[in-house]
Amino acid sequence: MTSQTAVSTASTSTGTDTATTAPLRLAVVVGSTREGRFGPKVARWFTERAALRADMDVEVIDLADTPLPVHLTHSPGPEESKALEAVSPRLDTADAYAVITPEYNHSYPAALKNAIDWHYSQWRAKPVGFVSYGGISGGLRAVEHLRPVFAEVHAVTVRDSVSFHQAWDLFGPDGRLTDPAAPDAAATTMLDQLAWWGRALRTARETSPYGS
């Protein structure tokens, strides 16, 4: 009896240690698909910052490169299934998300809402951070609209975000930030929060699946 208990405890400890120490899988979702979009510049900067961290493995999911059908259905056909295969498994295996979003007409892009609506279990009990860009508001109204949307699919949005006000004036002709100090610091703060929540929620999902 004692031996069996020891084996069980060791197994549980190993699983918890892995959930706590293994690098988090961070999916960076680029939400704009508009022609001439500014998003790739912001996404490149953020992805490079995140990739510097030893505690994260970063993957970019660009919705312009992986377009999803606009007709939602519970029974996707061959074409819908093929499109979903390029996105759904990658969202599913992610431990955390960073959403790159512009602000269109005081809110976020339709393609981003479509991607959220196509999925449900993929978002559950996982953290989401935001990197926004735009004019004088820096895309913050899009972020505030996204928070209740992600709450509805049981995701956890972290408090701090990164925002670029008058974004096109902040990046040089080479697509790089001309003064990266403040954005880099903001990204570090948000990534630290994503890392904490990502580890905590991954451990919780592995020890007690969400909703059980």
Three-state secondary structure along the chain? CHHHHHHHHHHHHHHHHHHHHCCEEEEEEECCCCCCCCHHHHHHHHHHHHHCCCCEEEEEEECCCCCCCCCCCCCCCHHHHHHHHCCHHHHHHCCEEEEEEECECCECCHHHHHHHHCCCCCCCCCEEEEEEEECCCCCHHHHHHHHHHHHHCCCEECCCCEEEECHHHCECCCCCECCCHHHHHHHHHHHHHHHHHHHHHHHHHHHCCCCC
Q: What is the tens place of the pLDDT at every residue in 3-31?
A: 333 333 344 445 556 667 899 999 999 99
Q: Which residue has the higher pLDDT, 211 or 98?
A: 98
Average pLDDT over residues 77-92: 97
Q: What is the mean pLDDT of the chain?
A: 92
Q: Note the pLDDT of residue 211.
A: 84
